[in-house]
Amino acid sequence: MSNKSDGIVEKIWDIFSSMKTGLVLLGIVALVSGIGTLVPQVSLDPEGADAVADIWKTLGFTNIYASPWFQFLLGLLCINLIVCSVQRFGGIYKLSFQPKPPQEHSALPQKIYSQVTSKDGEALKQRTQKVLKKKGYYVTQLEKEGSWNFIAQKHRLGNWGSFVTHISFVILVIGALIGSLGGFKGYLMAGEGSVTPIQQIEISKGQVKDDFMVKINSVEDRILPNGERDNWYTDLSIIESGEEVARKSISVNHPLTYKGITFYQASYAPGGLFNVKVKGEEYPVVLQNGGGNFFNAPGTNLFLVMSAMKTDPQEPVILYQVFDETKQVKMGQLTLGQTETIQDDYSITFEKAAGFTGLQVKEDPGVWIVWLGSGLLMLGLLLSFYWRPVRVAGIMNLEKDHEEYELALGAFTGKFNMGIKEEFDSIVAELKDVNQVTK
């Protein structure tokens, strides 16, 4: 039974350690992501996603990136990258920190190869060590009967470039999965002066676990003296247990973060503040231009909307409409400070222009992991392309051959050999130029 289990584990390991498996998974993820750009997604285009055929909705193609099977695909890709990285770790470590000098001349690289001779073997050996050290190489030596063997490395950390890059992809996927499973994404459109429980915002993904209030102190569409728009500004407060625990004036690219939840300024809509009196009770009401929201007068079936607005900051004018459940019952125009009676015990006063702010609200517990993965990805690319390792190996006979000692050496080439030949030639030239080295 144990041998059978070991055999199954080995087969699974072989599958996930295969580069072919990784390429197939990458291809599937790329294909699915491509479909996600063609099929409307619920989080970006709810109306378009709703118009898609039911079969695509059932298969999850209108919410691909949050679907369990897409996350399963990313998990498989993660496992593949981890297994491949574990399998390569030992070899890269030995190559970087425990290199073994070649034992025989046949083990020397032949593509970039040269020989240096000298009548003084000890001097040639010392000269070689000095030249390599001067050029920044770390030399590992081996002396055995009849020969001196060495391998020298420069930019050893460059060996880890592809390894770090693979690990960074694993971390990026893990961060994305944590953010998708543990966070949420939502939207809040609220008027000036409103207080909204965080649990009541419109959620497009995930679930809100916190419980505090969001107060919109003021909203401004700031215009510069030259007529150009400066920015949208929202003075935002966080209320918890009846106390203001955070406050900031946010704008585009300047969000507020509280308990890991970030509020981004996304949009602005003009609106108006009304003082509504119904049966002796007063209600401050903020209505959005264009009928974006309504006010249902308590104890009545009447709904008040602001259908249009002249947004002149000096002389704002609004057009209002009142509906019952079946038809329009009243329509009128109000200037700043003007009062209109809707019914006997129901009147409205236009107090001032008051904007509506559109906020994207997002919690992503995996964001710091994504940033870590991004940093490692940059490090891996820098090591791979700008810190390429160079390895030079050599064998020198300690016994004279034709009254001279001979040093045979060569440079290893990988996928990228740009500059290695020039580096190697400069080493050989200095070894042959005895005067230059001994200065």
* DSSP track, 281-295: EEEEEEEETTTSS-E
**Same domain flag for 131 and 217:** no
**Same domain flag for 116 and 219:** no
pLDDT at 261: 93
Q: For residue 375, tell me if it sits in a domain.
A: no
Query: pTM of the prediction?
Result: 0.70
Bridge partners for 188 per DSSP: 359
pLDDT at 59: 75
User: What is the domain range of residue 61?
Assistant: 2-90
Amino acid at 337: G
**Same domain flag for 20 and 75:** yes
pLDDT at 439 over 50: no
**Same domain flag for 195 and 273:** yes
Comparing 43-47, 53-57, 247-251, the range with the smallest average pLDDT is: 43-47
**Same domain flag for 224 and 274:** yes
pLDDT at 133 over 80: yes
Q: For residue 372, tell me if it sits in a domain.
A: no
pLDDT at 224: 86
Distances, alpha carbon 190 to alpha carbons 43, 112, 346, 354, 359, in Å: 20, 70, 24, 11, 8
Each residue's pLDDT tens digit, 7-22: 787 888 888 788 888 8
Question: Contact 192/110 with Cβ under 8 angstroms?
Answer: no
**Same domain flag for 146 and 194:** no
Question: Contact 280/299 with Cβ under 8 angstroms?
Answer: no
Bridge partners for 359 per DSSP: 188, 265
Q: For residue 139, tell me if it sits in a domain.
A: yes
Each residue's pLDDT tens digit, 341-387: 998 889 999 998 888 999 999 998 988 999 999 999 999 999 988 88
**Same domain flag for 103 and 80:** no
pLDDT at 437 over 50: no
Q: For residue 214, tell me if it sits in a domain.
A: yes
Q: For residue 416, tell me if it sits in a domain.
A: yes
Region 133-147: what's the mean pLDDT?
Answer: 88
pLDDT at 314: 74
* Average pLDDT over all residues of the chain: 87
pLDDT at 180 over 80: no
Give the angle 89-91-97 at the CA atoms, nearest 5°: 95
pLDDT at 427 over 80: yes
**Same domain flag for 11 and 123:** no
**Same domain flag for 70 and 139:** no
**Same domain flag for 271 and 403:** no
The DSSP output letter for 300 is: S
**Same domain flag for 190 and 53:** no
Of 50, 68, 90, which marks where a domain is finished?
90
pLDDT at 145 over 80: no
Of 41, 60, 90, which marks where a domain is finished?
90
Q: What is the pLDDT confidence band of residue 335, given thresholds at 50, 70 and 90?
A: very high
Token pair belonging to 88: 């390569």
Count of domains for the chain: 3
Q: For residue 228, tell me if it sits in a domain.
A: yes
pLDDT at 400: 64
Q: For residue 394, tell me if it sits in a domain.
A: yes
Give CA–CA dist 89/31, Å, rounded.
30
Q: What is the pLDDT confidence band of residue 413, given thresholds at 50, 70 and 90?
A: confident
Helix or strand run (H / E) with residue 114: strand 112-118
**Where do runs of H (alpha helix) occur along 98-185?**
121-134, 161-182
Q: For residue 299, tell me if it sits in a domain.
A: yes
Bridge partners for 30 per DSSP: none
423: domain CATH number is 3.30.160.110
The residues, ordered by sequence, that sit 6+ positions from 181 with a Cβ below 8 Å of its Cβ are 71
**Same domain flag for 78 and 103:** no
Of 90, 120, 147, which marks where a domain is finished?
90
